[in-house]
A and B are shown apart, each in its own frame.
Chain A
Amino acid sequence: MPWIDACATDDVDEEDVIRWDHGDATFAIYRSMDGAFFCTDGLCTHEQVHLADGLVMDNEIECPKHNGLFDYRTGKALRAPVCVNLGTYETKIENGRVFVELSE
C-alpha cells in the first residue's frame, strides 16, 4: 500500500477541506479544528458532487448540493439524502506534507 504525497499541510485551512486528484480518482483532504488530517473519497455518494466545495463543521462534512452529511473521520453517512458511506484513507504527516495511503 503506497503512501502518496498529496499536499502541504498549509494547503488546508483549519476546519476546511480541499480537493486532491490522483490518477483517475478524486479525493477530499480535511483538516480538523485540532490540526488532524483525514482523507475520503472526493465525490458525495448521493449524486457525485465534489465534497471539496462543502462545509466542514466539527468532524462532519456537509455536501454542497443537498446538505447530506458525513463524518469525515469514518466516512459514515449521517443525514439524508446520503445513505451510503464514503471510503476513507489513512493519512500521515511528514516534513510538513500530507501523505495518503492508497491501494495499488
Chain B
Amino acid sequence: MADVVGHSSLERDYSLTGTRSRHAVEVGLAAAEWYHSDVPRKTLKALMKRRDGPAIRDTFIWIALHFVLGAGGIYFWGTWFSVPFWFAYGVVYGSACDSRWHECGHGTAFRTRWMNDVVYHIASFQIMRNPVNWRWSHARHHTDTIIVGRDPEIAWMHPINLVLKALAFVGIYDTWQSLKVLFRNAFGELSDDEREYIPVSEWNRAHFWARIHVAIYMVVLVSVIAMLVSGSGWASLIPVLLIGGPRVYGCWHFVMTGLLQHGGLAEDVIDHRLNSRSLYMNPVSRWLYWNMNYHVEHHMFPMVPYYSLPALHEELKDDLPSPNTSIWDAYREMMGAVMKQRNDPTYAIRKELPPTAKPYKEDLHLSVPERKD
C-alpha cells in the first residue's frame, strides 16, 4: 500500500487528484454521512435564526477600531507610542478578518445577504484569499473535513514541519504563498486542485477577483515608492502597514486559534467529535474569532450563526467531549499529540465522551490504509 500512503510511512498524498483522493471516494469516505447529535427541530430552528443586529454591532466596532488604531499609529509615528497601536491594528486587520471571512462565507453572520457579501469581500482581501476559490474550498472542508485527498484546508499535514508552523505566526511564508496564488489566478491560471473543487462556471470570477486584489496591492506598492522618492523615509512604510502588512505582523492570533481547530486529532473519520476541537477562551479572543472556539458545534451545524454558538454548545455538551479549558490547555494537549504524530501519523487524540453521549461513529475507519495493519 506504499503508493497510497506516500513516499515513506510519514508522508501522505494530500493532493485532491491523487491516489488517496480516489481511495476516499471508493471506500465512501468522501461525501459520507457524518455523525450529528440529536437536536429537536424547534430548538435547532431557534438556534439557526438570523439577525442583523449582532453582526452590525461587531462590524461597526471592527471598522471603527481600524480607523482609531490606524490613526493612532500614524499620529504617534516615530515614537514608541505608535507600537501598541500598530500591534492592535495588526490583530484587528490581520486576525479578525479570518473569522469575518469564514462566517460571512457561510452567509450566517448577517440576515441580510448583501451585508454578508460586502464583509466577505473585505475580509477575503485582508486575509489574501481569493474570495471565489475559498468559498469552494471551504464547502469541501465541510463535506470532507480532514479526509486525506479530499479536504483542501488541512492545516496539519504529515509529515509535520514545525518550522513552517512556527513561521505561520509571523505570516511571511503564508503571505508569500497567498500572493503567489493571487498573482497566478490574476494571470488566468488555476492549479489542478483549484480546478478540482471550483466549478468551471466560477473560473472567470476567480480570475476577476484575483485581479482586483492584485491591483489594490499594486496601488499600495506605488504609494510606498512615491513616498520614498519624495523623501518620506521610514514613514513610506505606512501604506503597507495599513494595507497588506497586517497579514504578516498581525496574523498571529488567527494562526494561534486556527491551528487548534483540528490539530492533534484524527484524519479520515466521519465524526466531528474525533477530528475537531472545542475549547473555552477569553472574551477578547472570542470576539476576534467570532466564537469559532466552539468548533465541533460549528462543524455539526454550520447554519448556526456565531452569536448562537454558545447556546448551541449548551444544547450539545452532553453529547460531546468536554472542551479544553483555555487556549493554553488546548495547546498543551495538541502539541503533545503533534510531537507523537511526527513519528507516527496514525496517532490521534481520542477524547473520552461523557456517559450521556452516543458512541463515536467509526464504521468506515478500517477502510483507511494505515489503520489496516
B344 on the interface (CB 8 Å rule)?
A: no
B194 to chain A, nearest CB (A): 14
Interface-forming stretch among B18-26, B89-97, B103-111, B327-335?
A: B103-111
| B45 with A55: CB separation less than 8 A | yes
| A67 with B201: CB separation less than 8 A | no
Query: In residues 51-104 of chain A, which contact B (Cβ within 8 Å)?
Result: 54-55, 57, 62, 64-67, 69, 78-81, 83
Cross-chain contact of B113 among A16, A48, A65, A79 (Cβ < 8 A): A79
B48 on the interface (CB 8 Å rule)?
A: yes
B292 to chain A, nearest CB (A): 15
Give the interface size class of chain A: 10 to 19
Q: Which residues of B contact A57 (CB under 8 A)?
A: 50, 111
| B139 with A81: CB separation less than 8 A | yes
Cross-chain contact of A65 among B50, B108, B143, B199 (Cβ < 8 A): B143
A69 to B135, CA, bound (A): 14
Q: Chain B contact residues: over half helix, strand or loop, or mixed? A: helix
A79 to B45, CA, bound (A): 20
A11 on the interface (CB 8 Å rule)?
A: no
Q: Which residues of A contact B199 (CB under 8 A)?
A: 83
Most buried by A among B111, B135, B139, B201: B139
Cross-chain contact of A64 among B107, B111, B136, B303 (Cβ < 8 A): B303
B207 to chain A, nearest CB (A): 16
Query: In residues 292-326 of chain B, which contact A (Cβ within 8 Å)?
Result: 301-303
B31 on the interface (CB 8 Å rule)?
A: yes
Q: CB within 8 Å of B: which residues of A?
A: 16, 46-48, 54-55, 57, 62, 64-67, 69, 78-81, 83
In addition to A65-B142, A80-B202, A81-B135, 8 A-B residue pairs with Cβ atoms within 8 Å of each other are: A47-B31, A67-B303, A79-B107, A79-B113, A80-B136, A80-B139, A83-B201, A83-B202
| A67 with B111: CB separation less than 8 A | no
Cross-chain contact of B107 among A48, A54, A69, A83 (Cβ < 8 A): A69
| B135 with A54: CB separation less than 8 A | no
Q: How many residues of B contact A (CB 8 A)?
A: 20
Q: Which residues of A contact B45 (CB under 8 A)?
A: 16, 55
Q: Which residues of B contact A81 (CB under 8 A)?
A: 135-136, 139
| A66 with B201: CB separation less than 8 A | no
| Residue interface mask B114-150, A partner, CB < 8 A = 1 | 0000000000000000000001100100110000000
| B303 with A62: CB separation less than 8 A | yes
A64 to B106, CA, bound (A): 10
| A67 with B143: CB separation less than 8 A | no
Q: List 13 A-B contacts (CB under 8 A).
A: A47-B143, A48-B31, A54-B303, A55-B48, A57-B111, A64-B302, A65-B142, A65-B302, A66-B139, A67-B108, A80-B135, A80-B139, A83-B199
Q: Which residues of A contact B302 (CB under 8 A)?
A: 64-67
| Residue interface mask B13-35, A partner, CB < 8 A = 1 | 00000000000000000010000
A62 to B108, CA, bound (A): 10
A55 to B135, CA, bound (A): 20
Q: Which residue of A lies closest to B304 (CB)?
A: A55
Most buried by B among A62, A78, A80: A80
A83 to B202, CA, bound (A): 10
A20 to B323, CA, bound (A): 38
A75 to B47, CA, bound (A): 25
| A67 with B50: CB separation less than 8 A | no
B119 to chain A, nearest CB (A): 14
A16 to B301, CA, bound (A): 17
Most buried by B among A46, A65, A66: A66
Cross-chain contact of A67 among B31, B106, B136, B202 (Cβ < 8 A): B106
A48 to chain B, nearest CB (A): 8
A99 to B31, CA, bound (A): 33
Q: Which residues of B contact A16 (CB under 8 A)?
A: 45
Q: Which residue of A lies closest to B301 (CB)?
A: A64
A29 to B50, CA, bound (A): 21
